[in-house]
Every structure is written in structure tokens, then in C-alpha cells.
Amino acid sequence: MRKDRIVIKIGGSLLFRKDHRINFQKIEEFCDIIKDQTNYKEPLLVVGGGIIAREYIGFVRNYSGNEALCDLLGIDISRVNAKLLISYLGELAYPLVPATFAELSLAMLSKNIIVMGGLQPGQSTTSVALEVAEFIKASKVLILTNVKGIYDKDPHTFPDAQLLKKITPAQLTDLIIKEASSTQASAGEYRIFDAVSLQILKRSKIEVNVGSGMDLSALKQFWKGNANTIGTIISN
Ligand code: UTP
């Protein structure tokens, strides 16, 4: 059977509870789903920074005003978060967090589940997921976040926001520009799709699905092969 590669980004918002403590249950639930055999090869996971990254970034911004330094702190924390998943996955996971594409190439030789965090300043871990997906020729990227997919407006602010089933990269770019705020490109504040990820989306043929990580039942069905997509499909 032909096995494709897949990249899954798990947003940092899913790793921590409201009280900033590690969400043991969510990490267990997510890892237990993806541990099972599927139609895909071992998935490559990209982990976000979450509330802990934003705490560090807030401190550094306050005293240094250095956005690049803030991004670097965000990257460090996302890599620490990646280690949470590596430790839960045990021998199924490659034990190190690749920090460069060269390190990723080496990790790929292991055929284990690879878990990554950030790569370089000026972008989000969604960009990492897309960059890595291009690099390893993945056919699909799943982005698990704290909403069910892409809405026509911010669902946290507008209760009448409509969940979109499908959107093209060009339509997504228009939507994001319309909703943009002045803090959109600050460390810790990159939205689900930042400028870098939008550019990669446009040039690559990878299908991206944005879905809920709060309720992992859709992921479970997808992973079992009972569904082809989750949440919103971004594709041409
Ligand atoms: P994210 O903002 O991508 O994590 O990375 P997140 O919390 O999972 O985001 P959500 O869940 O999608 O909202 C944390 C921070 O780390 C820095 C950025 O400052 C980013 O906001 N970062 C991450 C980089 O600078 N470069 C990277 O490659 C990745």
C-alpha cells in the first residue's frame, strides 16, 4: 500500500490548561491516536509555544524591546514543548528535536516519529509545519488549533462567525488581510497563518486541513481512515 507523509502541527494552546499547567490528558489523548498505524508514514509533529512562550516573550519584550530575541525565546519554548511529546511517545519518537533541515534529514533516517518546534525568527510554527512539509514532500498538513477550522471572521469575537468547509490560499490571504491588526507580526502574536505560511501555501501543492484540537474525535476518525479531511480544507 502506498504510504504518504503527513505533518501535524499541534498548537501550543492545546498543551496547557487555562491555569498554565501542562494538559496531561490532551497530550496523552493526541499521542495515543497518532501512535496507531494508519495510511500515512510516521507523522512529523510540529509543536507550538502556547501560553508559556507568550509569558517569556512578554517578559523579554518588556525589558529588552527586542522582537528577534522574543522570537528566539518562543522557539526555545516550542522545543521544550516538543520534548513533552517525545517523552510520552518513548521509543516511537526520535529522541532529539531537529533545529535545522540538516538535523531533520538525519532524523528522517530513523523512521521514528519526529517532533519539532520552531526554526527561525520572524514566523510561527505553522510556517515551520509548511516548510517541513515541502522539504519532506508531505501530501498533507493538519493544523490542530483551539477552533474548529477557518471562519469568515474571528469566532472568539463574533458569535455569528461561519465555519468554512473549503478555502483557496488566495481567499485565505484576503480574509487574513481583512482581519489583520497591528500586532499580527509581533513575537508570540502570529496568527494561525502568518505571512510566511501564506506564501508557502501559495507555492506548494500541499493540502492543509485546519481543525480542532480541543475535541480530537475528528482527528481520530481521520487517523482511522474513516474520513479524508478534518475541519477546513485549504487547497486550490
Ligand atoms: P507559535 O506562535 O507558532 O506557537 O510559536 P503557538 O502558541 O502554538 O501558536 P498558535 O497555537 O498557533 O496560536 C510561539 C512563538 O515562537 C516564535 C514566535 O514568536 C511565535 O509566536 N517562533 C516560532 C519563531 O520565531 N519562529 C519559528 O519558527 C517558530
Q: pLDDT for 74-123, tens place per residue?
A: 999 999 999 999 999 999 999 999 999 999 999 999 999 999 999 999 99
Cβ < 6 A, ligand 1 pocket:
11-13, 48-50, 53, 70-71, 74-75, 78, 118-121, 123-126, 128, 145, 187-188, 190, 192
Give one DSSP letter per residue of 112-164, joined into a string. Answer: SBEEE---SSSS-HHHHHHHHHHHHT-SEEEEEESSSS-BSS-TTT-TTPPBP
Going by CA atoms, what residue is nearest to atom 15 of ligand 1?
A: 74
17 half-sphere exposure, CB direction, 13 A CA radius:
7
> How many domains, in total, are found in the chain?
1
| 151 found inside a domain | yes
Q: Give 2 Cα–ligand 1 centroid separation in angstroms.
A: 33
- Domain assignment present for residue 126? The answer is yes
Q: What is the CATH number of the domain that holds 32?
A: 3.40.1160.10
Q: What is the distance in A from the centroid of ligand 1 to the CA of 146?
A: 14
Residue 172 placed within a domain: yes
The three-state secondary structure class of 190 is coil
Domain that includes residue 196, residue range: 6-234
Whether 1 is covered by a domain: the verdict is no
Q: Taking a C-beta distance cutoff of 8 angstroms, is the pair 6, 139 a contact?
A: yes
Please indicate, yes or no, whether the overall pTM of this predicted structure exceeds 0.85: yes
**Domain for residue 221, yes or no?**
yes
> Is residue 165 assigned to a domain?
yes
> Is residue 58 situated within a structural domain?
yes
List, for residues 16-35, the tens digit of each pLDDT value.
Answer: 998 999 999 999 999 999 99
